[in-house]
Chains A and B, each alone.
Chain A
Amino acid sequence: MLHHGKKTAKLSRTATHRNAMLSNMAASLFLHSKMTTTTPKAKALRPYVDRLITKAKDGTLHSKRLVASYMPHKVALKKLFEEIAPKMGERTSGYSRVIKAGMRRGDNAEVSVIELLLDKPVETVEKKEGKGKATKEKGDAPAKTSAPKKAKSAKAGASKPKAKAAKTAKAGK
């Protein structure tokens, strides 16, 4: 079996062990909002935490029960629903981030800091030209489809004369 398309890291644990660990780690992260752990664990925790926050933003009893089934820690659950989820209003995803923080003494394992992006400004990445910019105006929607075509045709137009020029240059020699 190849490892293609398998997104979840196994972390050398059985499924139950892994789920229990992620649940504990998620609770710790919600309580402290920042923690240091090995890079693979941090990267496995990031999507887990993000899904819990997305569910918690609903704030309904059902969402609370759903989240509790993944993270039964009562104190963390309360903090998630009452303090963390309301602060994440602007974000639609990416509530946490992982930054590498060097090697651990003892086993030389790479450690990372994982933190909740509570009071951080939401960064928006401007897409490169030709692919259509992500702007607020709705009028841009048709431009998105037309822009790449134009770019392609422009490229095609530019490449042809070059090819001709190359041919003439060769012929000249």
Chain B
Amino acid sequence: MPLPKRRHSKQRGRKRRTHYKATIPALTECGNCGEAKMLHHICPSCGFYRGEQILEGKEA
């Protein structure tokens, strides 16, 4: 069984993981209700997409 020769310090691991970052989703305002929505997605709050009611919204 191969084993690591040296201790892997906390610093080493943490430094490697500094590049693990969450990306911020691209959001725009809904053209119908003005809430934040994801691009090319149905608006989750009003259910509109490109000026058309596709789904029922939360407050509809």
Give residues in A with beta carbon < 8 Å to B: 36, 99-102, 113, 115
Contacts and interface: CB of A to CB of B under 8 A. Distances in A.
B41 to A, nearest CB: 5
A32 to B, nearest CB: 13
B interface secondary structure, majority: loop
A113 B41 contact: no
A102 B55 CA distance: 12
Nearest to B39: A100
A100 B25 CA distance: 15
A102 B41 contact: yes
Contacts of A102: 38, 41-42, 44
By size class, the interface of chain B is under 10
B33 interface: no
Given A99-B42, A101-B55, A115-B54, 4 more contacts: A99-B41, A100-B38, A101-B42, A102-B38
User: By CB atoms of chain B within 10 A, which of A36, A100, A115 has the most?
Assistant: A100
Please report whether the interface of chain A is mostly helix, strand, loop or mixed according to DSSP.
strand
B40 interface: yes
Contacts of A99: 41-42, 49, 54
A101 B38 CA distance: 9
A99 B40 CA distance: 8
A116 B42 CA distance: 16
A36 B41 CA distance: 13
Contacts of A115: 54
Nearest to B42: A101
A99 B54 CA distance: 9
Nearest to A120: B52
Nearest to B37: A102
Nearest to B40: A100
